[in-house]
Structure 1
Amino acid sequence: MEQTLFGIKKRLLQTAAMYCLLTCLLWQHSACADDNYERAQDYIQKYKPLAIDEMKRTGIPASIKLAQALLETNYGTSRLATEGNNHFGIKCKAYWQGDTLLVDDDTLQECFRRYPSVYDSYIDHSEFLRYHRDGYYNHLFLYSSTDYISWAEGLQAAGYATSPNYSKNLIAIIQRYHLYDYDRPVTANYLPAVTPPSFNAVAYAQNTPVPPVQTAKPDAGFSKTFVPKPAFNAATKLPLNSYSAAAETAQATHPGQTNSAPTYAALKLEEVFINGLHAIIATADLHLSYIAARFNLPEDDVYEFNEAQPTNKQVKAGIPIFLQPKKKKAANGMEAHLVQPNENLLEISQYYGMKVKSLCKLNKMQPDETPKPGSILHLR
């Protein structure tokens, strides 16, 4: 009798212990899932503008880009992401000329690409897919930017990752966090776009040393007249989606539908001298942090050179970006500027390589004041 009671008590204790263990395991799993969800939301909020902008530029769905980044970086926490700014798990390959980081992956101490910034990682991912030496991913660009399922399956079929469940994992992440919402032009247009440039994208994608742009040399008469916006050369073809309003509407209302191949426009970049100062002019909006990385300059210095506002560190296409401090006044012979519609004081100061403060002082204006079209501003 006592042995029977002892056995019953023993089984009850074992059952209780097992119940406690299962409860703890479920709690840990729930807590881990909650942590991942919060990390995912933080990552998405931080980088969705960049993913959307790259989608507009190249046609790669923002949902795919974000899902790959979340998966490859373990929600932004991996060593590859935190130390190497590599958010897509792209390995060095024999032709990579940039910095590297050794990380254990399929084998021990594998070589991965290290980037100066996250912007570079997002851009290189786009160019890696678009301009891969063996053309593994060319067929993906025949799919609509809203057809994330075909993109996910195509990435796995092309061998982007070794996991047999890679496409299923991407699709699960996209659907869990509703990332497909960012593939729809109507939604995307309401979000701020970050536009980091890609300098000589083909060479960058193929990871060969980027040839330097021929720097213009000022001649004797250079400072006598305003330097016009140059005829851009050093052209580099970059994929720029060109959608009609009807196509955008169709994509917004019919997710998953394939579309014809996107068209491509050219981004052109040129180094010039303005007011005797080294500057860059481009046909696309440029983010100053990328310019800093490209020319190996401290970001804070580039922001200061171009008097960037805390809330806006991009420069519009056609506006000079300076790689050294601007001067207090315009070049000799540049006495006045006729204000054009929609011009502001910062843009005008950039045209002449002079500080906004000096321009305001000469014309008794405040930095946030909008100059009247047709008015004359003194430059010296």
Structure 2
Amino acid sequence: MRKPLSSAYRLLSLFLVVVLLLPILLQADGVLASQRLETKKSEEQFIKTLAPKLKPLSRAYGIKESLLLAQVARGSDYGKTLLARRYHNLLGLPARAGEPSIELKTRLYVSNKWTTVKKRFAIYDSDEACVMAYLQQLQSGFWGKTLYAQLARNGNYRETGPLLEKAGFSTEPDYAKQLIAIIEKHRLTRYDQGISTR
């Protein structure tokens, strides 16, 4: 005759299932990378918090801070997405071989329609690490051999957004317009002082 399980053992078992298996099951079902998480930060607070962290990277790589801030704001929905909040991936960067990663669903605009696919995204230790990885990939020619030089030389945000869109950084059909709108809405060019084009 078997002894009934104690209530403490049942609670421990339930706890282990929730803590260990639930995240795996959620990942298997494919949680959206763009899923919004609650935050008390406003768009402006997000930008003001991130701007000083991006300034040294902007200067080191010669890319206008206004453009970086707009890309990060757009890519992370001002720090509200699951991918940004939990994994510090503010730009939706794909995982490269050997990088820590998470598989999540994402929406891509392909052949004139939106489609949902699973994709492996890179996991970063910090927001700055994500932006640095992006700038390194940009510099290495990941989105084309001339894009980095074009972005570093061109100080006009109305021209740099379309360059990123044309290079395929984002599949969104109006990506450049969104970047321009974010830069203008939040007056992000004020962060560009001291960043000279090359």
TM-score, normalised via structure 1 length? 0.37
Cα deviation for residue 142 of structure 1 reads 5.0
State the Cα distance separating 1:82 from its structure 2 match.
1.1
The one of 96, 112, 131 aligned to 1:122: 131
2:128 is the alignment partner of 1:153: no
- Structure 2, gaps ≥5 residues long: 1-37, 109-115
Equivalent position amino acid for 2:150 in 1? L
String of CA shifts for 1:191-235, please: whole Å, max 9, x gaps.
xxxxxxxxxxxxxxxxxxxxxxxxxxxxxxxxxxxxxxxxxxxxx
Q: Which structure has the bigger radius of gyration?
A: 1
Matched residue, 2:80: 77
- Shift of the alpha carbon at 1:104? 1.2
Larger relative CO (CA 8 A, sep 6+): 1 or 2?
A: 2
Match of 2:148 in 1: 138
> Structure 1 CA distance, aligned partners of 2:86 and 2:56?
24
Structure 1 counterpart of 2:91: 88
Aligned match of 1:40: 43
Measured in 2, the distance between the counterparts of 1:125 and 1:52 equals: 15
List structure 1 runs of 4+ shifted beyond 4 angstroms. Answer: none
Superposed counterparts of 1:1-380, under 5 Å: 39-92=42-95, 95-105=96-106, 106=108, 107-133=116-142, 134-135=144-145, 137-141=147-151, 143-144=153-154, 146-185=155-194, 262=198
Q: Give the TM-score, by structure 2 length.
A: 0.69
Deviations 1:326-378, CA, capped at 9 Å, x for gaps = xxxxxxxxxxxxxxxxxxxxxxxxxxxxxxxxxxxxxxxxxxxxxxxxxxxxx
Alpha-carbon offset, residue 117 of structure 1: 1.5
Q: Percent identity?
A: 23
1:64/1:141 Cα in 2 relative to 1: closer, same or farther (>3 Å)?
A: closer
Q: 2:125 is paired with a residue of what secondary structure?
A: coil
Q: Please, what is the CA RMSD of the aligned residues?
A: 2.3
Runs (5+) with no aligned partner, structure 1: 1-34, 189-247, 249-258, 263-380
Post-superposition CA distance 1:122-177 (Å, at most 9, x none): 11111111112452623424523x32222111101111001110000000000000
Give the superposition deviation at 1:44: 0.8
The match for 1:27 is none
Distance in 2 (CA, whole Å) between partners of 1:96 and 1:76 is 26
Distance 2:52 2:76 in 1: 18
Verify the 8 A CA contact 1:136 1:158 in the aligned structure 2. no
More helix by share: 2
SS across alignment from 1:102: strand
